[in-house]
Structure 1
Amino acid sequence: MSIKAAAAETQNNRAQLLKSFHQPGNPLVLANVWDALSAKAIAALPSTKALATASYAVAAAAGIEDQELTLADNLRAITGIAKVAATYNKPLTADLQDGYGAELQDAVKRLIELGVVGCNLEDFSRGRNGLYEVDEAVSRIELVLRVAAENGVPDFVVNARTDSLLVGLSIDEAIARGKRYLAAGATTVFIWGGRARPGMRTAEVEQAATELGGRLNVSMARVRTGGLGVQELRDIGVARISVGPQLMMRTIGAVAEEAEKIYRGEPVEKDTVIL
Structure 2
Amino acid sequence: MSVISTATTASKATLFKSLHRTPNQPLLLANAYDATSARIIGSLPGCKALATASYALALSIGKTDETLTLQDNLSLCRPIAAVAHQFNLPLTVDIQDGYASSGHLGKLGSVIEKVILELGAVGVNLEDSWHESTTGEMIPEDEAIERINTVIQTAKDLGVQDFVVNARSDTFLMGGTLEESIRRGKRYLEEAGAETVFIFWPRNREMEKADVQKVIDELGGRVNVSCRLGGDMTTGELGMMGAARVSVGPQVFLVAAEAIKKAAGVVFGS
Out of 189, 202, 207, the residue aligned to residue 197 of structure 2 is 189
Which whole-Å CA distance do the structure 1 matches of 2:175 and 2:265 have between them? 42
Q: Give matches, 1:256-275, under 5 Å.
A: 256-264=261-269
Is 1:107 matched up with 2:111? yes
Q: Is the 8 A contact 1:220 1:227 kept in 2?
A: no
Is 1:125 matched up with 2:104? no
Q: Identify the residue that residue 12 of structure 1 maps to in structure 2.
A: 10
The one-character-per-residue Cα deviations of 1:170-219 (angstroms, maximum 9, x if unpaired) are: 12111111111011111100000131224x32211111111111001000
- TM normalised by structure 1 equals 0.89
Q: Is the 8 A contact 1:25 1:214 kept in 2?
A: no
Residue 243 of structure 1 aligns to which amino acid in structure 2? V
Which whole-Å CA distance do the structure 2 matches of 1:146 and 1:194 have between them? 31
Residue 179 of structure 1 aligns to which amino acid in structure 2? K
Q: Is the 8 A contact 2:6 2:116 kept in 1?
A: no
Report the 3-state secondary structure (helix = DSSP H, G, I; strand = E; otherwise coil) of the residue aligned with 1:93. strand
Q: Identify the residue that residue 76 of structure 1 maps to in structure 2.
A: 75
- TM normalised by structure 2 equals 0.91
Which whole-Å CA distance do the structure 1 matches of 2:141 and 2:251 have between them? 29
Computing the radius of gyration over CA atoms, which structure comes out larger, 1 or 2? Answer: 1
The one-character-per-residue Cα deviations of 1:29-84 (angstroms, maximum 9, x if unpaired) are: 10000111111111111211000000000000011000000000000011111111
Q: Give matches, 1:168-247, under 5 Å.
A: 168-183=175-190, 184-198=192-206, 200-222=207-229, 225-247=230-252
Report the 3-state secondary structure (helix = DSSP H, G, I; strand = E; otherwise coil) of the residue aligned with 2:213. helix
Q: Is the 8 A contact 2:67 2:132 kept in 1?
A: no
Runs of 4+ residues deviating >4 angstroms: none
Q: Identify the residue that residue 159 of structure 2 maps to in structure 1.
A: 152
| Residue-pair matches, total | 258
Which whole-Å CA distance do the structure 2 matches of 1:70 and 1:194 have between them? 24
Q: Note the C-alpha offset of 1:19.
A: 0.6
Segments of 5+ residues of structure 2 without an aligned counterpart are none
Q: Identify the residue that residue 273 of structure 1 maps to in structure 2.
A: none
Q: Give matches, 1:79-98, under 5 Å.
A: 79-98=78-97
Which whole-Å CA distance do the structure 2 matches of 1:47 and 1:232 have between them? 16
